[in-house]
Structures are given as C-alpha cells and as structure tokens.
C-alpha cells in the first residue's frame, strides 16, 4: 500500500510517517511541496504519486490563534480538507482525515463521553473549522475515515507534556486547570490504530483516544511524579483561565465504533504515558535544560 501523509513535520504526522514506513511505502510532502490550500498543487502531487491512501494530519492547530486568524484557519482546515477529499475521490484514493474533540461543546456532565453520532456544537472557531472539515470530507468522497481525537502528545511538536517538563526544569510555576477533563493520547498509538482501520478497510467516523480519563491538573501531576520532578502548581478553574478561545470542559470521547467492530487497540492513558516517559523522559528533560 502507498500512503501519502500531509502534515508529516507535525506531532501526529511525524509519528504516522515513522509507523507507516515500517509497513507501507510512504510519501510525505512538506508544506512547501504540497500546500493543501492549493488545489493545483494537491492535484499535481496526488496524480504524480498515485497513493492508495491520503492521511491528512495537516491543520492550523493553534486554537487561540484561530480566533483572530480566521481566514487562514478556514483555508487550511476546511478548504484544505475539501481539496484533498475532492482530489482523492477523483483518483479513487481513500482519505483518512483527522478531526478533534473540540467539535463538541463539552456540556455533558463528567464522566459521560461523546459518541461518534453525537451532534457537533463547537465553542471555538478552531472547533468550527474542524466540524466543517468533517462535512467537507463526507460531502466529497465515500471512501473516508474521520478520526476524532484529543489531548495528543508525542515526541515531536508542541504539547502539554513538553510544556510541563519545561516549566518544572526551569523552576517556574505551573498554572493548570483542574476542571477540564480528557484522555491524554499518544500520537504513536493513534498511528497504530489508523493502520488497524486501514487493514480492515473501514469507513466512517471513529473516536480514537486512550482509555480512562483525568483532568489537566492530574495529568500534570502524573508527569511530574513519574519523572521525579517538582514544581509549584497554581490550580485554577476554566473560568479563571479564560483563554481567547472557549474550550470544552468535557473532552471525553468514547471509542464506541472501534469497540463495536472489535478493533480498539487504544490503551489506558496511564500505561501509554508511563511508556512514553520511560522512553523519552530523560531526553525531554535534557532538551528542556538546553533550551533554558
């Protein structure tokens, strides 16, 4: 199988590139080589390479910046997804598109999770673009997989785990919310789950997050404890935090479709978090020290 990955310099895309390369032929154009906003470029690269599958990990992911940079967010997240879906349909290529827990409003009481067939009702402009990106895919191609995930961490790219380590290493105070709930999810595991879905030739929307859940404060404490780090922590509520983009309080997604089809390989969040920190913790601490 030949797989073309967009966004392969990002957090999820880089793990997809690494994991898929062990099994498939992988083409990973950079943004310069294939800007997904440019229809002509998308046609040219896909026609030239004729992949069997396109995995779209490219997106404008800065949730707060999306509030002010609306045109760019719309172009990359919605029009980019539409371009890829239309071109994939034309060349009979499957598309895997990555969406987000932020398509939901998070108003269900904890610990009630969101299911694949729950109605999206995004709070932020980023969430709106991700909800629209799903429609842009569904309306333009039949052979699609949409993955909704959230609270991602991985070795590449910016993420909460790196932020916590950096703050602690620098002896800075961590200001963390105690009332936003989600399931920390390793990008490496998501990549493996995508392979399972591809091998079984599945189509449709799939929630893909780790099993179990925590709040952000518990996540931060888990990272610090496991690495033997310490830092002063200021515990605040979502209301006190008040970032530019509104975020859902409840980010819990149930992998219902994966479970119905007996395809769920996602592990408990603590198991994956421990494995990730055992492999990369020392390196991340070293990098944080070097940067400070």
Ligand X SMILES: NC(=O)c1ccc[n+]([C@@H]2O[C@H](COP(=O)([O-])OP(=O)(O)OC[C@H]3O[C@@H](n4cnc5c(N)ncnc54)[C@H](OP(=O)(O)O)[C@@H]3O)[C@@H](O)[C@H]2O)c1
CB of 228 vs ligand X, minimal distance in Å: 26
Residue 121 and residue 170: Cα distance in Å, rounded? 39
251 binds ligand X (CB under 6 A): no
84 contacts 35 by C-beta, under 8 angstroms: no
Member of 3, 4, 11, 78 binding ligand X (CB under 6 A): 11
Contacts of 85 (CB under 8 A, 6+ apart): 95, 97, 136, 137, 139, 140, 141, 144
Asked if 31 touches ligand X (CB under 6 A), the answer is yes
* CB closer to ligand X, 68 vs 230: 68
Which one of residues 3, 4, 5, 10 is an interface residue with ligand X (CB under 6 A)?
10
Q: Is 12 one of the binding residues for ligand X (CB under 6 A)?
A: yes
Q: What is the DSSP letter of 253?
A: B
Q: Per-residue string for binding with ligand X, 132-171, x by CB under 6 A?
A: -----------------xxxx----x--------------
Q: Which of 4, 5, 58, 85 binds ligand X (CB under 6 A)?
A: 58
Q: Which is nearer to ligand X, 122 or 150 (CB)?
A: 150
Q: Which of 4, 5, 7, 193 binds ligand X (CB under 6 A)?
A: 7
Say which of 102, 126, 144, 153 is annotated catalytic.
126
* Cβ(255)–Cβ(209) below 8 Å: yes
DSSP-derived secondary structure for 133-187 = HHHHHHTT-SSEEEEEE-SEE-SSS--HHHHHHHHHHTTPPEEEESS-EE--EEH
Q: Residue 240: how many CB atoms within 10 A of its CB?
A: 12
Query: Cβ of residue 223: shortest distance to ligand X, in angstroms?
Result: 15
Catalytic (active site) residue 178:
no
Among 59, 191, 249, 284, indicate the residue that binds ligand X (CB under 6 A): 59
């Amino acid at each position: 199988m030949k797989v073309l990955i967009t966004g392969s310099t990002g957090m999820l895309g880089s793990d997809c590139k690494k994991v898929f390369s062990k099994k498939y032929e992988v083409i990973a154009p950079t943004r310069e080589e294939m800007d997904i906003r440019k229809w002509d470029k998308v046609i040219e690269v896909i026609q030239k390479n004729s992949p069997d599958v396109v995995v779209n990990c490219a997106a404008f992911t800065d949730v707060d910046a999306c509030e002010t940079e609306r045109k760019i967010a719309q172009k990359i997240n919605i029009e980019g997804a539409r371009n890829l879906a239309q071109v994939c349909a034309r060349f009979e290529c499957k598309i895997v598109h990555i969406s987000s827990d932020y398509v939901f409003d998070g108003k269900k009481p904890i610990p009630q999770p969101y299911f694949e067939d729950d109605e999206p009702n995004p709070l932020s402009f980023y969430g709106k673009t991700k909800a629209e990106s799903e429609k842009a895919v569904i309306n333009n191609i039949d052979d699609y997989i949409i993955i909704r995930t959230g609270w991602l961490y991985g070795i590449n790219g910016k993420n909460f785990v790196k932020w916590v380590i950096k703050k602690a290493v620098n002896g800075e105070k961590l200001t963390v919310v105690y009332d936003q709930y989600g399931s920390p999810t390793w990008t490496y595991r998501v990549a493996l789950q995508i392979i399972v879905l591809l091998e079984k030739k599945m189509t449709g929307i799939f929630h893909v997050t780790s099993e179990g859940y925590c709040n952000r404060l518990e996540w931060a404490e888990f990272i610090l404890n496991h690495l033997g780090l310490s830092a002063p922590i200021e515990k605040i509520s979502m209301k006190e935090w008040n970032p530019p983009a509104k975020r859902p309080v409840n980010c819990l997604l149930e992998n219902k479709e994966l479970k119905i089809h007996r395809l769920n390989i996602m592990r408990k969040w603590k198991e994956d978090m421990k494995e990730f920190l055992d492999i990369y913790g020392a390196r991340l601490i070293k990098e944080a020290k070097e940067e400070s």
